[in-house]
Amino acid sequence: MSELRATISRVFGFDTLRPLQEEAMEATLAGRDVLLVLPTGGGKSLCFQAPALVRAGLTVVVSPLISLMKDQVDGLRGYGVAAAMVNSAQDPAERSSAFDALRQGDLELLYVAPERLVMDGFQATLAAANPVAFVVDEAHCISHWGHDFRADYRQLGRLRERFPGVSLFACTATATERVRSDVREQLGLRDAVELVGSFDRPNLTYRFLPRSDRARQVLQVLSRHDGEAVIIYALRRTDVDKLAADLQARGVNALPYHAGLPDEDRKRNQEAFLREECDVVVATVAFGMGIDRPDVRCVLHASCPKSVEHYLQESGRAGRDGDPAECVLLWSGADYQGWRSLIDQSGQHDDHDPAIERLNEVYRLASGASCRHRSLVTHFGEAWTKEQCGACDVCLGEVPELEDATVIAQKILSCVHRVRQKFGAAHVVDVLRGADTEKIRRMGHDQLSTYGLLSDLDQTSVRLAIDQLVAKGYLGVADGKFPTLALRAEAGPVLRGEQDVMLLAPPRPPQKKRRRAVSGGGGGSDPTKEDLGVGDFVVFEDLRDLRREIASERGVPPYLIFADRTLVLLALHRPQTDGALLDIKGIGERKAADLGPRFLERLREHATEAQADAETEGVD
């Protein structure tokens, strides 16, 4: 472990490890099988990358996404690590070069896709290279109970048969106990060291908002992240295209990303986002984006995902660098019906089907009024001991309860009964608010006892209350050509006054974040760009420009040059020598030698300017 720590410091520029990283590395170096569950941003990759640098032999990494695979290999090469990949996106020359390095024993890490790894011919080539460890990244994909099951992953169980003496390292960010058990069984893990970190991401602020005016709400969120990286998820391709076009029309540099785009357009849009040429990308929630950009400051779901596991994985792309980030979920009963229709079309009509259960769970989460951090971690079986998280809309006091919620619920349920459970939410809202429409007059619903009973509430409040009653199971949405509201058995006690109901009012707008000026970061934890004073922030932005320039020259994303946090430390401390540069977290020997001269030159320019300004002030 002492050699490992020295290697991590020399290569990656880190002197401290995150929770469970040391235990995972120690077990790996001992040749043990490992099952590691760490949240996104928890440092899973280092747990198998670093041991590969001090242990003789080849480590083979199974990765499901080519773009992520490429990012990791490019990043490792930037640190001077002998890494390569083999996948279908490579041209013949690249693939041949990787195979040559493999046969010659020149590699420390080899990344491959699961479908290639299970090929007999490829396994024979690997056997000749005598691998010492296999890493199965995104291991939840092997489980039928996981939220992203992949048939190719299921075949990875054959690795144990073909390579019985080689250790297996399985890692993922999201896995319930049922999924972890399935992973152990399918991979044939032997006496595995199981390490499960906290599912909580304290640097993320969660806000779950009822959707009313999607474009307006999205713009409100984006106003808090001007010039920052934002990912927006939508349910359908048409939603993606429309939202991206709406944002572009309002001056937002937003690009669409979904499977229906031509391959060239999709690749160009993703690279524009990764290379910081655009700030906002809009994508379908069902399509794996392969985004590895660590400085995403906001993930906004313009539509509700189909499970809590999907939400945690997708929102987890925010703040991977550990700095503060925001996760906003806009939810609506229409999304529930949309997902339910897709499930029904697949032939799954049983209300106890796992897909339906997962859908109900995410809607209970979205419409609930308890701490968002608590709701997320307890879903995965983790205990929660804090009273408040201080980082969600509920704990920040942005989600008020609706007054007289039980009475309002009774009026809504009664109205659904009075219209004979044959109409959708929009019509029920109109009846309750006393709207004067041709449809209401034609149906005679202006003569109902429930007509106008909620005329004192605005349309958003009534619709929000209905959506919550659906999510809580008091109302159902009947199948048919048009979705209609129907009473469920759970509504009986509420209508009879035997059970109270808690409902939320429309949320209050959050306060805008403020920049905190500090000297040297202070406080013990790493400073972020929010901690920079005005002068330091100018230096930070100049260093970002330099990073972008170097990245463009080398054809890699800027974050593979230096992380934002490293640039913050450079802007605060402004090292002027090679030795001082190595004291900056995130700068190892290879990067200091490779990138140091250009960054030191830029920092010296700022030092010269600062000295000239000080002399001028002295003369004045």
Separation in Å, CA 415 to CA 114, 142, 456, 493: 54, 47, 16, 16
Structure tokens at 295: 């400085």
**What does the alpha-carbon distance between residue 32 and residue 24 come to, in Å, rounded to a whole number?**
10
> With 60 as the cut, is the pLDDT of residue 524 above it?
no
102-111, 112-121, 349-358, 385-394, range with the lowest pLDDT: 349-358
**What does the alpha-carbon distance between residue 36 and residue 172 come to, in Å, rounded to a whole number?**
7
**Multiple choice CATH, 204-379, 3.40.47.10, 2.60.40.10, 3.40.190.10, 3.40.50.300:** 3.40.50.300
Beta bridge partners of 326: 205, 298
Q: Rounded to 5, what percent of the chain is helix, strand, coil? A: 50, 15, 40
**CA-based nearest residue to 128, from 108, 153, 99:** 99
pLDDT tens-digit map of 192-240: 999 999 889 999 999 998 888 888 999 999 999 998 999 999 988 999 9
| pLDDT tier, 518 (very low <50, low <70, confident <90, very high otherwise) | very low
| pLDDT tier, 520 (very low <50, low <70, confident <90, very high otherwise) | very low
589: which DSSP letter?
H
Rg (CA), the chain: 27
The percent of residues above 90 in pLDDT, for the chain, comes to 57
CATH homologous superfamily of 2-196 equals P-loop containing nucleotide triphosphate hydrolases (3.40.50.300)
Mean pLDDT of the chain: 88
Q: Where are the alpha helices (DSSP H) in 444-533?
A: 459-471, 491-495
Treating both helix axes as pointing N-terminal to C-terminal, what angle do 354-367 and 372-379 enclose, rounded to 10 degrees?
Answer: 160
pLDDT at 90: 85
119-128, 237-246, 440-449, 492-501, range with the lowest pLDDT: 119-128
154 touches 186 (CB < 8 A): yes
pLDDT tens-digit map of 556-588: 889 999 999 999 999 999 999 999 999 999 999
Burial readout 212-231 (b: 16 or more C-beta within 10 A, e: otherwise): bebeebbeebbebbeebbbb
One-letter amino acid for residue 14 of the chain: F
> With 60 as the cut, is the pLDDT of residue 247 above it?
yes
Burial readout 95-116 (b: 16 or more C-beta within 10 A, e: otherwise): beebeebbeeeebbbbbbbbbe
412 touches 429 (CB < 8 A): no
563 touches 529 (CB < 8 A): no
431 touches 441 (CB < 8 A): no
406 touches 466 (CB < 8 A): no
- Say what the pTM is: 0.79
102 touches 84 (CB < 8 A): yes
Mean pLDDT of 8-16: 90
One-letter amino acid for residue 54 of the chain: V
Treating both helix axes as pointing N-terminal to C-terminal, what angle do 589-619 and 534-554 enclose, rounded to 10 degrees?
Answer: 140
Locate CATH 1.10.150.80 in the chain.
529-619
Phi then psi dihedrals of residue 332, to 5 deg: -155, 150
**CA-based nearest residue to 487, from 428, 401, 447:** 428
pLDDT tens-digit map of 97-136: 999 999 999 999 999 988 888 887 898 899 999 999 999 9
Separation in Å, CA 180 to CA 65, 373, 379: 21, 22, 14
pLDDT tens-digit map of 262-308: 989 988 998 899 889 999 999 987 555 566 788 999 999 998 888 88
153 touches 113 (CB < 8 A): no
Looking up tokens 């004291």 gives 583
**What does the alpha-carbon distance between residue 425 and residue 439 come to, in Å, rounded to a whole number?**
14
**CA-based nearest residue to 207, from 513, 484, 535, 573:** 513
Treating both helix axes as pointing N-terminal to C-terminal, what angle do 92-103 and 120-129 enclose, rounded to 10 degrees?
Answer: 40
pLDDT at 15: 85
**CA-based nearest residue to 528, from 566, 579, 478:** 566
Identify the top-confidence range among 144-153, 384-393, 436-445: 436-445
Strands annotated E in 131-210 = 131-136, 167-172, 193-196, 204-210
**What does the alpha-carbon distance between residue 50 and residue 261 come to, in Å, rounded to a whole number?**
38
pLDDT tens-digit map of 50-82: 999 999 999 999 988 887 888 899 999 999 999
For 463: left if phi > 0, alpha if psi spans -120 to 50, otherwise beta; the answer is alpha
Locate CATH 3.40.50.300 in the chain.
2-196, 204-379
**What does the alpha-carbon distance between residue 4 and residue 20 come to, in Å, rounded to a whole number?**
15
User: Pairing relation of β-strands 34-37 and 167-172?
Assistant: parallel
Structure tokens at 232: 């927006």
**What does the alpha-carbon distance between residue 393 and residue 401 come to, in Å, rounded to a whole number?**
12
Give the other-Cβ count within 10 Å of 488's Cβ: 14
pLDDT at 452: 96
Structure tokens at 203: 């640097």
pLDDT at 515: 40
Let me know if 189 is exposed, middle or buried by CB neighbors in 10 A (0-12, 13-18, 19+).
buried
Q: Which CATH architecture has domain 529-619?
A: Orthogonal Bundle (1.10)
- The residues, ordered by sequence, that sit 6+ positions from 123 with a Cβ below 8 Å of its Cβ are 117, 162
**What does the alpha-carbon distance between residue 122 and residue 141 come to, in Å, rounded to a whole number?**
21
> With 70 as the cut, is the pLDDT of residue 552 above it?
yes
Q: 405-495: which CATH topology?
A: Arc Repressor Mutant, subunit A (1.10.10)
Output the DSSP codes for 350-402. -TTSHHHHHHHHHHHHHH--S-HHHHHHHHTT-----S--SSBTTTTT--PBP
Looking up tokens 């569950």 gives 37
**What does the alpha-carbon distance between residue 221 and residue 298 come to, in Å, rounded to a whole number?**
9
Coil, strand, or helix at residue 583? Answer: coil
**What does the alpha-carbon distance between residue 12 and residue 104 come to, in Å, rounded to a whole number?**
26
75-84, 442-451, 526-535, range with the lowest pLDDT: 526-535
**CA-based nearest residue to 274, from 89, 68, 568:** 68
pLDDT at 22: 94
| pLDDT tier, 19 (very low <50, low <70, confident <90, very high otherwise) | confident
139: which DSSP letter?
G
Looking up tokens 């619920």 gives 409
Separation in Å, CA 574 to CA 16, 20, 550, 593, 606: 22, 32, 19, 17, 9
pLDDT at 146: 66
pLDDT at 322: 85
One-letter amino acid for residue 383 of the chain: A
**What does the alpha-carbon distance between residue 265 and residue 180 come to, in Å, rounded to a whole number?**
37
